[in-house]
Amino acid sequence: MIWDSRSSSNLATVKMMRSHRSLLFNVFLLCSLWTAVFTYRPVVLMHGINDNAGTFGTLIAFIEKFHPGTPIFDIDMFDNKESLISLPFQSSKVLDAIANFSSYHNATELNFICYSQGGMVCRGAIEAGSSIKVRNFISLSSPQGGQYGETEMTHYLFSTYVTENLYKIFYTKVGQEISIGNFWNDPHHQDLYLSTNTFLPYINNEVPHNSSATYWGNFARMNRLVTIGGPDDEVITPWQAAHFQKYDHNEQVVDIQDIEWYEEDSFGLRTLDKKGSWVRYSIAGVHHTSWHVNQTVFDCCIAPHLD
């Protein structure tokens, strides 16, 4: 049988084939455009004290394997000794950089992974940053409830001072120019903490200030808050500070429900908790310097929140 494209039946077949080819081409074109336009939500990374952007090589590899093509902003600011600059200043400059990154990628929402002191920097930027929209904020072993315990850094800087006396440095004008002083929360000198500390009491809305409503609104609107810490951290003290807890005057860890900033919902933490938007992970066996290179921590506690 000779196929004649000029016959009426065969002509209908040709038209149908052309229609199918056109449809397939359009589907292919749409898929190509979707692939070109769609990416995973951008991720912002912020390093800790006396550290730099290079510390996240392993974590970036984890993210790229889990979500290939994810835009990642590994903030290369306030590295090493510059990380000791005051946190109000750091947060302000980091916020500007994040806003530029978000604008460049036309990002409607960002995911944050902020480690150690970097979690405090990010929180300051998030609360002040009405220009950015946070999807999920992953606070990785960060002293959100404040630090009260010696570290290698405090010993290096102030070798003649023990924990009980560090308030004499940190709760001064000069001490507040040092990042550690900005989240130093001495349970025995709360009056000085509230009257001299220029950062933590402000982002906690423990003291009145003109931006308190903005701070509350920007924190409470995020989709999810994830806090990660553990009893073998050996740096964050108390380690439960990673979950916004702190010591009382007897140096006992206070239950979160009994802490004033939770009870009064001063910056939106209770609001997030009540709507199921605060996820807490307490993991034993992880030292402070290992959180961001631990595959298990990434798989269980970080990857599920890079949505």
Of the candidates 47, 189, 243, 288, the residue annotated as catalytic is 288
Q: What gap in Å lies between CA 97 and CA 76, rounded to an integer?
A: 10
Edge-to-edge strands, sheet with 224-229: 72-74, 43-46, 110-115, 134-140, 224-229, 278-282
Of the candidates 91, 116, 139, 266, the residue annotated as catalytic is 116
- Reply yes or no on whether 191 is catalytic: no
- Reply yes or no on whether 288 is catalytic: yes
- Identify the CA nearest to 226 among candidates 141, 127, 291, 131: 141
- Reply yes or no on whether 8 is catalytic: no
Of the candidates 74, 186, 233, 273, the residue annotated as catalytic is 233
For residue 141 the two structure tokens come to: 């072993």
Q: What gap in Å lies between CA 200 and CA 181, rounded to an integer?
A: 9
- Residues catalogued as catalytic: 116, 233, 288
